[in-house]
Amino acid sequence: MAITALTFDLDDTLWDNRPILERAEAEHYQWLSEAIAAAQTSPQTSFGDCYPLSAYQQHRADVARRHPLKRGDFTWIRERALFELVEAYGLPRLQARLWAAHAIAHFLDLRHDLTPYPDVVPLLDALRQRYRLAAITNGNADLKRLALAEHFPVMIAAGELHAPKPDPRAFLAALARLGATPSRALHVGDSWREDVLPAQRLGMQVAWVDAKDEGPRALPPGVHRLAHVRELPALLDRLTTQDSARQGG
Ligand SMILES: [Mg+2]
């Protein structure tokens, strides 16, 4: 069956996410510690010295464990962890909430200060002439804050739906909004567990962007390995050729 719709993962599929997250992680926390220190009237051990970045990371894991229904909503978990730490540091609850909200706003600004791989914009420009496109992300990248949004009429923030991938609901929501059946859609993503397996189980074709070179693996039917998203048009051309050969034969 000819492919009519494409769904895309974002982080590590359309851009290299690790340096973005590392920078956002360090800088928003540093900002918070300095901002609290600047607002203090009497000298005391700084917030960052009481709770170094590793303590925040640990506390976040703890918050995630205590709030299983929020799994996948990373922004909520971050803000909650910051709020609890600032309150534990000794600030009144309302102030702690405000500091956490400011720090999260700062984190999200940094999170969206990103550049897609150089090939991505022309690639999406060409693809959207032929296919309906959707983005499905577990992360807290908000496409509406990125220039890339114009390419995606459908955007699914799976974490905020509390149905993060590999939950199939995120894929089904995207397909419903694209008006496509799984057999006429192809998902593009880098994660074996969160992208490849759930999409393949729904009967979609999958372009697995194996950027981390996770090594040879027996690929299930309908799964195609790419080294980079720029190889996608060649794969789609191949699938179209195969499909018309099958129709013709
Ligand atoms: Mg990804």
Interval between CA 137 and ligand 1 midpoint (Å): 7
Residue 176 tokens, joined:
């419903």
Mark whether 163 and 179 lie in a shared domain: yes
- Note whether 43 and 100 are same-domain residues: yes
Long-range contacts of 95-101 (CB under 8 A, 24+ apart): 99/32, 99/35, 99/36
Ligand 1 centre and the CA of 136: distance in Å?
10
In the numeric block, which tokens belong to residue 178? 């694209």
**Beta strands in the chain, from DSSP E residues, in sequence order:** 5-8, 132-137, 154-157, 185-189, 205-209, 223-226
Ligand 1 midpoint to CA 30 (Å): 26
CA 218 to ligand 1 centroid distance, Å: 21
Does residue 136 surpass a pLDDT of 70?
yes
Q: Would you state the pLDDT for residue 203? A: 97
Please tell me the distance between residue 144's alpha carbon and the centre of ligand 1 in angstroms: 18
Ligand 1 centroid to 10 CA: how many Å?
A: 6
How many structural domains does the chain have?
Answer: 2
Q: What is the pLDDT of residues 195-233, one digit of tens each?
A: 999 999 999 999 999 977 776 678 999 999 999 999 999
| pLDDT > 90 fraction of the chain, expressed in percent and rounded | 82
Q: Which domain holds residue 202?
A: 5-16+117-248
Are 95 and 156 in the same domain?
no
Same domain, 53 and 75: yes
The pLDDT of 37-45, averaged and rounded, is 89
| pLDDT band at residue 158 using 50, 70 and 90 as cut-offs | confident
